[in-house]
Amino acid sequence: MRSRITRVTLLATVAIMLAGCSTNDGRDMSPPRDDQTDTITQTTVATTVDPTQDAVTEPATFLSVSGSWEEGGVIAAKHTCAGSGVTPALSWAGIGTGTKSLGFVLSESDDPNNVLWVVTNLEPTLTGIAEGEPLPATAVVAKNSRGDIGYAAPCPDSAEGTSYLLTLYALDQVIEAGTGDDTTTVLAAMESAALDATSTEFVAKGA
């Protein structure tokens, strides 16, 4: 008898405890007042890392070329047929990885078929050429539009001047060409092998 009473007592105790834990007691919660602080839920945002990107990105290098003139400015008369026709100084930077040789072409801006100077197979470690100096031994010089090998000095026939464009090519190979080859062949080979190219422009004025 005592055992049955004990079990009944225990069951009654458990029922009371469960009733006390229940939140469904029939009472409705009042909405929060304006002076009460809202509960703030913090959310953790996961950062996604692109596995294809390096942790540290190297700054990009940009191919650039300049000559013995202000960009878009007038070239000195000594580099034209009005002067001694000496070759201008050129310099460049930003040669990218994988460049095997360099080349450049000088042509009339409005008439690309009027080519004054085509040079290729310059060493990629070269950073420029000096005014009036011979080209390096590796250089291959094609015929210009006048049928001559080398530099044809700009010779505009007007005082207003003519614009010329010098384009530098970073090439992925040494071009199979020889000095005296025609302009079209050498230029086509450079354009086909170009990893990068950039230009600078100047104006030559006549008398």
Residue 186 CB burial class (10 angstroms; 0-12, 13-18, ≥19):
buried
Q: What is the pLDDT of residues 66-102, one digit of tens each?
A: 999 999 999 999 999 999 999 999 999 999 999 999 9
Asked whether residue 59 is assigned to any structural domain, the reply reads: no
Q: What pLDDT does residue 10 have?
A: 37
| Domains of the chain: total | 1
Query: What gap in Å lies between CA 53 and CA 63, rounded to an integer?
Result: 23
Asked whether residue 191 is assigned to any structural domain, the reply reads: yes
Q: What pLDDT does residue 207 have?
A: 65
Query: What gap in Å lies between CA 5 and CA 12, rounded to an integer?
Result: 11
Q: Is 78 helix (H, G, I), strand (E, B) or coil?
A: helix
Q: What pLDDT does residue 139 have?
A: 98
For the sheet with 90-93, list strands across it: 64-67, 90-93, 128-129
- CA nearest neighbour of 196 among 165, 170, 167, 157: 170
Asked whether residue 140 is assigned to any structural domain, the reply reads: yes
Give the list of residues 6+ apart from residue 200 with CB closer than 8 angstroms, or none: 65, 66, 67, 71, 165, 166
- CA nearest neighbour of 104 among 165, 14, 16: 165
Residue 98 gets the label, from left (phi > 0), alpha (psi -120 to 50) or beta, of: left
Asked whether residue 55 is assigned to any structural domain, the reply reads: no
**Interior angle at CA 100, CA 202 and CA 64, nearest 5:** 30
Asked whether residue 119 is assigned to any structural domain, the reply reads: yes
Site of tokens 């700054």: 59
pLDDT of residue 60 exceeding 70, the answer is no
pLDDT of residue 184 exceeding 60, the answer is yes
Asked whether residue 174 is assigned to any structural domain, the reply reads: yes
Which CATH number fits the domain that encloses residue 99?
A: 3.90.280.10
- Residue 195 in tokens: 């990893």
pLDDT of residue 199 exceeding 90, the answer is yes
Q: What percent of the chain has pLDDT over 70?
A: 71
Asked whether residue 13 is assigned to any structural domain, the reply reads: no
For the chain, what is the mean pLDDT? 80
Q: Give the residue numbers spanning the domain of 135.
A: 64-204
pLDDT of residue 31 exceeding 90, the answer is no
Asked whether residue 38 is assigned to any structural domain, the reply reads: no
Residue 169 CB burial class (10 angstroms; 0-12, 13-18, ≥19):
buried
Confirm if 136 and 126 have CB atoms less than 8 A apart.
yes
pLDDT of residue 198 exceeding 70, the answer is yes
pLDDT of residue 59 exceeding 50, the answer is no
